[in-house]
Structure 1
Amino acid sequence: MKSRFVLPAAILLILFMSGCTGLTELPMYWGHNAGSADIKPTGYHADTKTGWMSFNDSTHIYFAFSFFDPRVQTLVLRNGMTVFLDQTKKMKEDCFVKFPLIKREVIAGVTEGQQLAQQRGRQNRQQRTTTEALLEQAQGFELQWKNGEKVIQINPSLEKTDFHTFIAVDTANVLNIIVGVPITYLNPGGLAALDEIVVGLRFGQSAAELQSGGQQQMGGGQQSAMSGTGAGSGGSSGGRGGSRGGGGGGRGGGGGASSAGMQQGGAPGGNAMMPATTEFWYKTRVMKK
């Protein structure tokens, strides 16, 4: 599928400069199906080769991601992806959805880091790739929602829930993930009570989680700039199959481009270090029809 993430250099420069003066504002679109022609790419994060779309209807806010770099795919599947939704517009981390989460059994006398190392060793021995190995557990992936003191952790594949999730690798070996958050979970007043929100995206673990010993590979953390515009798909849970993706935003910068079939544009060399955490923030406005 041809890329939709091509913008003139002058536009990219303008977007980047606007991002340097504060949080970049990226678009949100109206709809509930990432394959709809009305839903355009939101952003593309060049460092991690990740594209995404954000969109909403009257009941849910959706984020559809496409991860092109196998190392980032592994990072996300092992350690989760967190989407922060801050109505105070101060980049607070009090409200977020985290998916996918691998449910880990608590084994007496064995640290979480040791359990993860053992689990990864088994996966790498038994499967062709780490991404495929982790997707074998797709039915076991859990979702965590937190808003203030309220915390929910469920398995969307096995339990009835108002959250929408989708995860699969497409025929181009791109990992596609979609998360739909019920708007009333964010604000009891529903869509009418929402306007501008600040969104934070974190791939991997937080600094506190890293210090506790969960992440044992891939270098240090990273705050980085992004581009505006990405794509996605919808459903429930998954393995390998067709899907489309989207991309980017940043805590300290912005520019534009992404796809509903983004071109990877050349992955970094095999020896390049991938940070254990990538995090970036942007502001957006929910759509009202």
Structure 2
Amino acid sequence: MQEGRRKGSLPLSQLSWSAAGFYLLVHALCLGVVYTGLSWHALAIFAGCFAVRMFALTVGFHRYFAHRAFKTSRWFQLLLALLGSTTLQGGVIWWAETHRRHHRHADTGRDLHSPQFQGFFYSHYLWFLDRRNRVTEHAAIPDLARYPELRWLDTWHFVPFAAMCVGLYHYWGVEGVLWGGLLPTVLIWEITHWVQSFSHAWGGYRRYACEDLSRNHWPLGVLALGEFHNNHHRFSSSARQGHVWWEFDVGWYVLRLWAALGLVWDLKTPTSLSQGTAGASERGEPFV
């Protein structure tokens, strides 16, 4: 593991105040549940919106855009980008590019969010509020930047979330916006933060002796619909991240269904990657 400068804190001059203010505002607005109250209807809205949006993040932003773990059509690629953008985790190209950078330098001084070098709080919360990390490096990710619709969505990434909230308000009012829009957003944020920090720090188990410090945490992996982090770092381009039956990988199960329906194809697996049969996409060539 390379030595690097420990950041540990974020200078105020480098803090994106607009991003930090918006982040805090979303959390504060969640207190509106005191007004709407708790009901089975509200929980159903929450569960449905969480599942769809968490799935779009883990399968769309993560496995497809960041790691090119399967192939799909251009229209379905755009659908995954639109749904993933409702999680308010930045533009699809920015998300994929910074995640690829994390894998290239995992748990070294050049990792964007390594708790070993930047400290737990920075890697958990502050790294994405750092102005130095908020610029999309289009030249570093030409396989995605070549699509004008993805470049537009990368810039206007908040539009799908806003449109979703308008729809939720139309059908279910303030209750819909809170339980379908804001609360799932915060939970998905926290799950993502914990994977980025906790899964490179403590506990869990290491199925593979990777060069980085990644580890699997079963409850976190299940909640994230199949994000078993040590498995993922060993086979980062694999569409399958649960490697034994009790590592429940909902993302993989749905991808298998989609493959049967012809929506996706050429799903990479640990076996195909180990045998060198993953195909052109493993070499960074564009899919669609």
Q: TM-score range by the shorter chain?
A: under 0.3
Higher Rg of the two aligned structures? 2
Task: State the TM-score, normalized to the length of structure 1.
Answer: 0.27
Structure of higher RCO (CA pairs closer than 8 Å, 6+ residues apart)? 1
- Structure with greater strand share of residues: 1
